[in-house]
Structure 1
């Protein structure tokens, strides 16, 4: 018991660092393997449905799941049973690298968008360019600088 008290509290040394790393590592969720998603329909039908979904995402840009569902209902893609089935097929398409899933922060919440292009492909910079005006302190030369005679 003495080891755990020292490791979890302060001053555990090397053992405390190891214990903290082990707890952090094992508390994380494992990433989902999207390559093994079952589309719940035969592969030929899944390919036809994915062509329709891909066309919708290409035409209307980055879309959320609910926006995609509204467009699918308007387009009348046959073979989709429900919104849940569409989400499953979108995940299947992600596993086959047909779609990209990106996250956009809106206020305090996150929005996830499906798109066919990455930010590098579309020409949008990934890091926003900040333009700041640097204020100059004084116009006199710094201490120790020599004046140049002309």
Structure 2
């Protein structure tokens, strides 16, 4: 409601700031709508006691961490192989995965294969300092081959 009021004031020129009202309103709208929507964790109900939810989440996290980036159907196969009996169905596992994504335990990303989309699940890096150091080392190794310049030997006359 407040946003709508500010927007109307900007468009009508009552803002009192002078200058173009339409440009400021456009910037305000862009800034408002570019924010990421927060996950609504209250609506995600894992249907289990909290202790059991925590143990299931830890075991599913470990399975995904060991196997790397996996699709949801592959995750279900790996969970069945691991013997996690608390998950009653694939739908229940999907609900748990959504809960884990909301808790920032997992990350889901899209991998395009031709015209098909494939959604993969991965674990987030546990220690940001280690992952930052790894990325820095990787960047340094990538820069070295490109910076090599062969110098010609000078001949004595």
Shorter chain as denominator, the TM-score bin is 0.5 to 0.7
The Cα offsets for residues 71-101 of structure 1, whole Å up to 9 and x where unpaired, read as 112223112233332122123234445x241
5 Å-filtered alignment, 1:1-150, equals: 14-28=20-34, 30-34=37-41, 37-97=44-104, 99-101=105-107, 103=109, 106=112, 111-115=119-123, 117-118=125-126, 120=128, 121=130, 124-125=134-135, 129-130=142-143, 131-132=145-146
Partners of 1:61 and 1:106 lie apart in 2 by 18
Given the two structures, how large is their TM-score scaled by the length of structure 1?
0.57
SS in 2 for 1:132: helix
Give the structure-2-normalised TM-score. 0.55
The structure that has the greater radius of gyration is 1
Identify the structure with the greater helix proportion: 2
Unpaired runs of 5+ residues, structure 1, are 5-12, 140-150
Q: What's the secondary structure of 2:107's corresponding residue?
A: strand
Deviation at 1:20, TM superposition (A): 1.4
RMSD of aligned C-alpha atoms? 3.8
- Aligned pair count reads 126
In structure 2, list runs of 5 or more residues that go unmatched.
Answer: 1-9, 12-18, 153-157
